[in-house]
A and B are shown apart, each in its own frame.
Chain A
Amino acid sequence: MPHIPSILTHFSPELILVVGMLLVLTYDLWVRGREGLQANLAIITTVLALVATLVLWVTMPGSHPVFEACGPGAKAGTCRPGAFISDDFTHFFRVLGLLGTLLVLISGQTYMRGRTAFKGEFYALVLSAVLAMNLMAGANDLIVIALAIEFLSITSYILTAFLRHDGLSIEGGLKYFLYGSITSAAMLFGMSYLLGIGGSTSVPALAAIARNPELAQVQGYANIMLPALALVLAGIAFKIALVPFHQWSPDAYQAAPTPVTAFLSVGPKAAGFAVLIRLFVGSFSSLSASWLGTMGLLCLLSMVVGNVAALTQGNVKRMMAYSSIAQAGYMLLGVVSLGGKTLMGLDSVGAVLFFILTYVFTNLGAFAVIIAVEQATGSAELGAYRGLMRRSPLLAVSLVVFFLSLVGVPPLAGFVAKFAVFGAAVTGGQVPLAVVGVLTGVVSVVYYFGVVREMFFGASEEGQPGPIRVGMGTTFVVLVALLMTLVVGLWPEPFITLANNVAHSIAPALQAAGGH
């Protein structure tokens, strides 16, 4: 088989993850669930996969389909493009997913200690979730997209319900599961109509049909296209947690072990946007009449509901759930601003990628603080943050910086990201949505400030609790996130160039969208 080498190179990050996952499980069997090196093994695996991705990205840029079908089974002598494609876009999301997981693993290294007897399973599941995210980033076929999303979903349900002795954790997992299985059924239903229209499960083949001008002449095609795309969108919107497919998210975020919450708030969101952009912007941009309206509605609802519902939350993990719903709404704003241009020639997709990049670091920084506070106080309620400034100035000040970045205050990374997205929205013909975005952004100041007020001005009733000892892992993650938040905010040029290059790797479709 001539394809083996391409599998070994362009698929190597995924292979490393599989091997690492199986190693963690085997090691766990060997130490019989005792405390051991499971977390370290998972971290090493993630680092290796990250290095492999970076090496691939630098040495072999460009688009490399893996698992092409040119063999005797190929129909009519044509090659089918690979079921998985390893291009700059895939690399970008691979790096984000792996880096995000690495930060979560480091900051949550000690969290699971003493909380579960299934340590090996926990880290194996985290690694398989990353694997699923990588596959979503490069999926080039409806079968792979559907399976990768299902794989990530099922892994996430288990991780959410992992603390099975805690009724809350099981309940969050069950809610997540129920919403997830319903929306995934809807997504598969939509995909079956796409097959009916396009006659293929391959994304490039579907894109070719979508660009075929004769399609518009087929009577009734719009009737079937609209629900097909809406149903597929529902499945992806569930993974991203967009309103109205968000009901699971506050419960799952609150109930899950906090490192898992941190992971859920970035991993599935980034991977979901990878699929969303590749499928809708990259392939179906010529059909934007069938999906732009639906997506705009999701964007509007997410920004409004996310920011307003966050106002009344007394639990910081729940608040972060609504806050991340709102942030996903801002990301979606960039997706719907087809053809928009913003600062330094960044196009709308580039703006989304840049936003996701800053969001991953800012949000994980905030969650590193939340994990540390929960480990010290045993709670994620607002009251646990009382007097944090006195107990641990590092945690308190960094949390303020992360919140300011999430609000979008200059000169932090979040400001540049929001500016880019709103700029794209204004030039891309989504002015009303941009206005709503700015207004809801102002609302978001209120709930972030609620936490800040507790940290700085909250009077402690039960005497003077001592200072919080911050672990090495947490310090490392907080500092990395702080550094990125400041650097991307002050010198955004290299990151904008990066985002733009990545966005151009799915360029043919975008140019078609610009002329649309």
Chain B
Amino acid sequence: MSVPPGHFMALSAILFSIGVLGVLLRRNVIIVLMSVELMLNAVNLTWIAAGRALGDIDSHIFVFFSLTVAAAEVAVGLALVVAIYRSLGRTDVDDISMLNG
């Protein structure tokens, strides 16, 4: 293997951080959700890279399950976005403030 696993891990750390940036910066719920998906994607890359380095197939199984979980999470999240859009007419995080947090 000519690309060391550390390179993959560093790349996924960078992608994870970009995802965090999106979560912190953006106010639109859909973009925030997409940033979370970016983070999850980076996590999966780390798993596969670590599994490749260790010759451990369980990492593939973890990612297989994690992909399914991400799909379920997105389904629920987008349902919430649709519902909040119906009640508010907008999807900005800052507009969602009926609850005084």
Please give the residue numbers on chain A whose beta carbons come within 8 Å of chain B beta carbons, in ascending order: 142-143, 146-147, 150, 154, 157-158, 161, 164, 167-168, 170-175, 177-178, 181-182, 184-186, 188-189, 192-193, 195-196, 199-201, 247, 250-251, 254-255
Contacts and interface: CB of A to CB of B under 8 A. Distances in A.
Interface string B10-33: 000000100100010000010011
B89 to A, nearest CB: 11
Given A154-B72, A189-B43, A201-B58, A171 B66 contact: no
A173 B80 contact: yes
Given A154-B72, A174-B81, A254-B99, A182 B42 contact: no
A468 B75 CA distance: 42
Contacts of A185: 16, 19, 36, 39-40, 43
B46 A200 contact: no
A295 B101 CA distance: 25
Contact of A193 (B46, B72, B80): B46
Contact of B76 (A146, A154, A184, A254): A154
A167 B87 CA distance: 6
Interface string B56-85: 101101100110010011001100110110
Contact of A182 (B36, B46, B47, B62): B36
Contact of B59 (A164, A177, A195, A250): A195
A150 B62 CA distance: 13
A200 B56 contact: yes
Given A182-B39, A185-B43, A195 B99 contact: no
A143 B61 contact: yes
A274 B55 CA distance: 31
A161 B50 contact: no
Given A158-B76, A177-B77, A247-B101, A196 B87 contact: no
Given A143-B61, A174-B84, A195 B73 contact: no
Given A182-B39, A185-B19, A251-B101, A192 B46 contact: yes
A189 B16 contact: yes
A199 to B, nearest CB: 5
Chief secondary structure at chain B's binding surface: helix
B5 to A, nearest CB: 8
Nearest to A158: B76
B56 A177 contact: no
A175 B47 contact: no
Contacts of A158: 76
Contacts of B51: 195
Given A158-B76, A171-B84, A201-B58, 11 more contacts: A146-B62, A157-B80, A167-B87, A174-B29, A182-B23, A185-B19, A188-B66, A192-B43, A192-B59, A196-B50, A250-B99
A188 B23 CA distance: 17
10 contacts: A154-B76, A157-B76, A168-B99, A170-B87, A171-B99, A175-B96, A177-B76, A182-B36, A196-B50, A196-B54
Nearest to B42: A189
A267 B13 CA distance: 33
Contacts of A174: 29, 80-81, 84, 96
A382 to B, nearest CB: 14
A143 B65 CA distance: 8
A271 to B, nearest CB: 17
A175 B101 contact: yes
Contact of A150 (B16, B50, B73): B73
A154 to B, nearest CB: 6
Nearest to B91: A174
The 3 closest A-B pairs by CB, nearest first: A192-B46, A185-B39, A167-B87
B1 interface: no
Given A150-B69, A181-B73, A195 B50 contact: yes
Contact of A192 (B19, B47, B84, B101): B47
A178 B32 contact: yes
B76 A178 contact: no
Contacts of B96: 171, 174-175
B98 interface: yes
Contacts of A247: 101
Nearest to B88: A167
A172 B80 contact: no
A483 to B, nearest CB: 35
A403 B86 CA distance: 40
A178 to B, nearest CB: 6
Contacts of B46: 189, 192-193, 196
Contact of A146 (B33, B50, B66): B66
Given A168-B99, A185-B19, A154 B73 contact: yes
Nearest to B54: A199
Pick the most buried of A147, A192, A255: most chain B CB atoms within 10 A of its CB. Answer: A192
A178 B29 contact: yes
A157 B75 CA distance: 12
Contacts of A186: 39
Nearest to A178: B32
A178 B62 CA distance: 23
A494 to B, nearest CB: 41
A173 B73 CA distance: 13
B15 to A, nearest CB: 11
Given A143-B65, A167-B87, A195-B56, A175 B73 contact: no
A503 B76 CA distance: 37
A199 B51 CA distance: 8
